[in-house]
Structures are given as C-alpha cells and as structure tokens.
Amino acid sequence: MLRAARRHRRQASGDQIAFDTLSPSLVATLSQEPIKQTLAAALAAMKPGAAEANAGFRQVRLAGSPTSLDAAQSLKQRLGSGRYGTAYSVRLSEDLIKNGKNLGREFVFKAILRTDPHNPLPRDLYATLRGDLTSHVAAIESLIREKKQSIINEFQITAALTRTAHVMQVYELVEIDGEFGILCEKIDGENVRELIDKGMAGLGANVITDREYVDLAKQVVADVLIAIARCADEGVAHSDISISNVMYDRDQKIFKLIDMGNGTEMGKRRQPGAKGYTDSLSMSIANERSDIYSAGQLFAHFLKDSTFEPGVRGFDDQLLTIEAFPFAEELAAMTSEDKAEMLSVVSSMVRKPPESRPSSEELLREPFFGQLTPRNQMHDSYEKLVRWDRSFSISTRISNCFWDIEDDVARGEVEQLLARLNELWHEDADEDCQGEIKNMLDKLHEPSLLALLSRAEQRQYAQAPAAEPVASPDSAGATGTPD
C-alpha cells in the first residue's frame, strides 16, 4: 500500500509539482551545512508552495459574488469549524487553472483570517490589544502580517504533500470577500466522527456486522498510516490527527488527512494536538512518532463506548486490556482474541517512550494490516451505512408530520413507499437489496415529495398551540395576595 502511494506521487508529480522544488526535509538537511546566505535563500525558494507564497493572496470571486460581506456569506456553504479556521464549500466565478491544468470551480475554502475589527476571524484576533483599536495601528499591522504568514506556512506544509492521495490537496492562497485562507480540494464524503456514529447505529440495527465495522476501522487506520509515512518522506508532521481531521473520499474510496493547521516541519516545535489524541500537553518537537500516537488513539475511538471519555492524553496502558477497556456494547459479541489483537495494535502505537513506537512503515507491514478487506467491499459497507442513516432520517421526518399531509392520495403513496423501504431492509438480511433500497430512497427524496413534507411541517407548526407566557414574580395581583 505504501509503496503504491509513493509510486503514485512520483508518477503524478508532473501534474502540479514543478521540477525545481525540493522537499522540506531535503531543504532542512542542506541548510544545516555552512552555506552562504544567498544559497540558503535559494534553497528556501525551492520549497513546495514557494511560488504561491511569493505571489501572495490571490483575489478570487465566487459565482455571482455580491459586493457586501453579509450577502457573500450566503454563497458559502459552511462545512465546519476547527481550531485553525472555518471550512466552506464554494463555487468560483471562473475555472481555476493551475500549471496548465483546469481544476474546475468547486472547492473548499478554508477561511483563516478576517481583519474586520467588528467581525474578526479568529474572534480573538485583536484580544491582546486594549482600548480603542485605532490607537494600535502598528500593532494591528503586525498581527495581520503574522497571521498571514501562518497561513502561508500551513499552505507550504500541505503543498509538500501535493499529489499524495491520502492527504487533502491545497491549490492557492486566496482572498475571498475580505477573508484570507486556502483553496482546497473538495472531498465528497464525511469525517470519521460521523462515520463512527453511523457505524454504531448500523451495528445496533444489524445493518452491518461487527467484522464489517472493524474492517472499516482498520482501513481508516491503514490509510492514516500511509499519510503519516508520506508526511515523514517529505519531512513534515500533521500534529493534529483526530476523528475530526480524517475524511472519507467516496469517489477515490480512501480516507484522507485534512487540516494541516498545526502541521510543521519535523524537528521544529509544535502546539499540542487535539485533547484525547496528543502525547504532549505543551509545546513539543514535531515527529512521526507523535502522529503514530494520535492514530492509535483514533483507532481506540472506533472501539470504545460512546459515553466513555478518555483523559486529555487519551487511552493509556492501564486501559488497554481486555478487562479494563470500555468496549462499545455493539462489539460485545466479538471474540476475546479479536479484541486482544486490536488492543495490542493500539498499545504498540501509544507506547512510551515515543522512540519505542513502531514507524508507520513498520506498522503497515504487520499481519494485522496485511490482510485488509478489498476497498470495493469496504466501500459497500460504508454506502450501506449511509443508506441506513438516510432511511432512518426520512422515516422519522415522515412519521412526525404524516397526519398533517392534507392530500389523502399523496399520504397513501408516501405510506406505501415507506412501507416498501422497511420491507427491503428486512429482506436485505437474507439477500442483497441495496440497489432497490437506493432506488426507493431516491423516490423518497424527490423534490416534489420533500416539498410535500415541508408544507406538512409548516402546517403542523402553524397549528401548534402557542406557549403560555411565563408569569412574572408579582403577577398574583396588585395587592400581592397569595392564591
């Protein structure tokens, strides 16, 4: 797997990597030698992303981009927020051409900086400044320069992994409607946090088996280890791996690391990663073994009971035993041997001291990761979970507003569709009905039917009794006499 990922990088390097770039690790190694300042500057200019960094933030417009910031927000679909920015799904007003390749118009925009003093991003951008901001012109300019440089640093760290299939790709440093950030690859999928929720629901409903669920988890960890190895090849570390920073790409059928906001070159100091996934609670040196630790904690999250919260460093050796580990109830039927094998893998990944942990390459050679389920089979399990989630969601919605559908004929048709969907799920236990289930879900999500449900929900809301006003303390009367 890792050999294939490295080969893919070399074969595809001509698409987006200029031939005059060097990896951060090679630049760092060469810079350790006593060399002239001019040569050191030339080496720095050969890091991936240097051309974009020198060009600065490119102003781009969204399709139909209005002039006001408030109106512009409606063109961006918010995907989520983290410690290092807010991600939006965006469509550009024109195609993005990169190194002669048309990348289209659909991207993810990671907004990291907005300088508006009344609505800054991050919100605490000016928190260190006291009093009237107009009296801190020089300090504000310094803050903005520093923040822009941190965006550039993140871009260059991620650009070192250009054409690494297991890492979300970055394309440009951009400014969109007054916000500065990074234009990234748009992935059709979801993060591992959502996958675990769907997986546990699917296990509870017997939609998938515990073996299929564990096979999904193994593929996640294997793909993350490949990404970590590729980071190590280029001399960088992610430093913030968690269930929120790994996404499934449905088109490529692989899991990808996203958000390199805490990433840095190996050997340099970095901030602690996410709570529950980090082996250090203070500034420490970025390295591959810390990323391995985070990946081990990620694996443990697949197995644990959803109500159990580990400590700030995640699971330690005392909890990684059959007797102590809080396995999810949905995995209770798994054999002790299988559970012990999984905990053994996690334990090796979070071992102390860090030097005793195996590398990502060594882990991928272990028998545990050597016999993964074929990707197409793993993908089928994933799609089944997605369909079960959609089925549960639409069934709940219909049930909640069913008697408010005024058209009797339409109500009967909806009832028949929903009944057939339930029948198909029962039949799926004995024979594959996923194709028919998909078709039935498409019918239940047709625009006309969804509009029918929306009208029923509006009618239901309009007919709901108004909440009674809360009496004030002295509402007993002018005299204040008790009842």
Which residue's entry shows tokens 């049930």?
Answer: 399
- What percentage of the chain carries pLDDT values higher than 70? 85
- Rounded Cα distance between 309 and 277, Å, is 12
Q: Grade residue 73 by pLDDT with cuts at 50, 70 and 90.
A: low
Once rounded to an integer, what is the mean pLDDT over residues 105-111?
A: 97
Q: Has residue 290 got a pLDDT over 70?
A: yes
Once rounded to an integer, what is the mean pLDDT over residues 427-438?
A: 96
Q: Has residue 18 got a pLDDT over 60?
A: no
Once rounded to an integer, what is the mean pLDDT over residues 27-50?
A: 66
Fill in the amino acid letter for 479. Answer: T
Return the bridge partners of 269, or none. Answer: 285
Query: What is the model's pLDDT at position 479?
Result: 38
User: Do β-strands 101-102 and 97-98 pair in parallel, antiparallel, or remain unpaired?
Assistant: antiparallel
Contact at 8 Å (CB) between 108 and 89?
A: yes
The residue among 169, 221, 233, 479 whose CA lies nearest residue 369 is: 221
Average pLDDT over the chain reads 89
Query: What is the model's pLDDT at position 270?
Result: 93
Q: Has residue 223 got a pLDDT over 50?
A: yes
Q: Has residue 483 got a pLDDT over 50?
A: no
Q: What kind and span of H or E run contains 419?
A: helix 408-427
Query: What is the model's pLDDT at position 127?
Result: 87
Residues 365-396 as b/e (b if ≥16 CB within 10 A, e otherwise) read eeebbeebbeeeebbbbbebbbbbbbbbebee
Q: Grade residue 17 by pLDDT with cuts at 50, 70 and 90.
A: very low
Lowest mean pLDDT among 65-74, 449-458, 460-469: 65-74
Q: Has residue 348 got a pLDDT over 80?
A: yes
- Rounded Cα distance between 218 and 51, Å, is 38
Contact at 8 Å (CB) between 72 and 177?
A: yes
Q: How far is Cα of residue 182 from the mean position of the Cα atoms in its chain?
A: 15
Cα distances (angstroms) measured from residue 279 to each of 241, 246, 260, 445, 455: 11, 18, 18, 45, 52
Q: Has residue 471 got a pLDDT over 90?
A: no
Which residue's entry shows tokens 């035993």?
Answer: 321
- Rounded Cα distance between 397 and 408, Å, is 18
Q: How far is Cα of residue 464 from the mean position of the Cα atoms in its chain?
A: 38
DSSP code of 121? B
Helix, strand, coil % (nearest 5) of the chain? 50, 15, 40
pLDDT, tens digit, for every residue of 186-222? 999 999 999 999 999 999 999 999 999 999 999 999 9
- Rounded Cα distance between 259 and 87, Å, is 10
Query: What is the model's pLDDT at position 166?
Result: 98
Q: Has residue 71 got a pLDDT over 70?
A: no
Once rounded to an integer, what is the mean pLDDT over residues 411-432?
A: 96
Q: What is the DSSP string of 131-188?
A: S-GGGGHHHHHHHHHHHHHHHHHHHHHHHTTTT-TTB--EEEEEEETTEEEEEE---S
Q: Has residue 473 got a pLDDT over 50?
A: no
pTM value > 0.85? yes
Once rounded to an integer, what is the mean pLDDT over residues 355-366?
A: 97
Query: What is the model's pLDDT at position 135?
Result: 73
- What percentage of the chain carries pLDDT values higher than 90? 76
Q: Has residue 475 got a pLDDT over 60?
A: no
Is the model more confident about 76 or about 180?
A: 180
- Rounded Cα distance between 402 and 281, Å, is 52
Lowest mean pLDDT among 116-130, 170-184, 387-401: 116-130
Q: Grade residue 19 by pLDDT with cuts at 50, 70 and 90.
A: very low
pLDDT, tens digit, for every residue of 118-140? 999 999 999 888 777 767 788 99
- Rounded Cα distance between 49 and 168, Å, is 15
The residue among 289, 200, 287 whose CA lies nearest residue 243 is: 200
Once rounded to an integer, what is the mean pLDDT over residues 450-459?
A: 96
Q: Grade residue 263 by pLDDT with cuts at 50, 70 and 90.
A: very high
Q: Grade residue 467 by pLDDT with cuts at 50, 70 and 90.
A: low
